[in-house]
Copies of this chain bind each other. A is one copy, B any other.
Amino acid sequence: MLKFSKKADYALLALQYMATVQYGIEANPRVVNTKEIAEEHHIPVELLAKVLQTLAKHQLIESHHNGPKGGYALGREPKDITLAQVLEAIEGPLGLTDCCHEKDGQSQCEQMNRCNIRTPLSRIQESIFQLLNSMSIEDLLVEDTPLVIVESLKLQGVPS
């Protein structure tokens, strides 16, 4: 429940990898190609390619189609790419319920008029959204340093 899709996982892995290459401790700014990332993380190339395309379309990364030296690179600094942006790019608008983003006047939700849990739920959603929006790719780089944003919340043991 509340699980990221694999595409989202792959996107985060790829972004983290690119960020490390470009901004990491042993920074070696260069363009990386799909195959390299895929092999590094043992994920299917074609699927990752699609994920990267999506990210590029949403301006989160830039594609350099320069033949053999082509590939992708971050479109902005890691701290300017929030997790919420990544997730929305990959999986569409965030929202706990279907009735969160209804277009047109006509609501699809049968119980619109008698739904008494929408208000509380939208609060939860807002909190999650803020959480995801307050974390960036940069936060994926610091391995064991407590994250500023989550610090205020009580944390318990995390799986190694």
Contacts from A to B (Cβ < 8 Å): 1-5, 8-9, 12-13, 16, 20, 40-43, 83, 87-88, 90-101, 110-111, 113-128, 130-132, 135, 139-140, 142-145, 147, 150, 153-156, 158-160
With known contacts A119-B144, A124-B132, A159–B100 Cβ distance under 8 A: yes
Which of chain B's residues have a CB closer than 8 A to the CB of A118?
145, 150, 159-160
Assess the A116–B1 pair: CB atoms within 8 A.
Answer: no
Contact for A135 among B1, B124, B139, B145, CB less than 8 A: B124
Assess the B145–A94 pair: CB atoms within 8 A.
Answer: no
Contact for A117 among B12, B117, B130, B153, CB less than 8 A: B12
Assess the A140–B123 pair: CB atoms within 8 A.
Answer: no
Q: How long is the Cα–Cα vector from A143 to B83 in the complex, in angstroms?
A: 30
Contact for A116 among B16, B120, B122, B126, CB less than 8 A: B16
With known contacts A13-B111, A110-B42, A111-B42, A126–B96 Cβ distance under 8 A: no
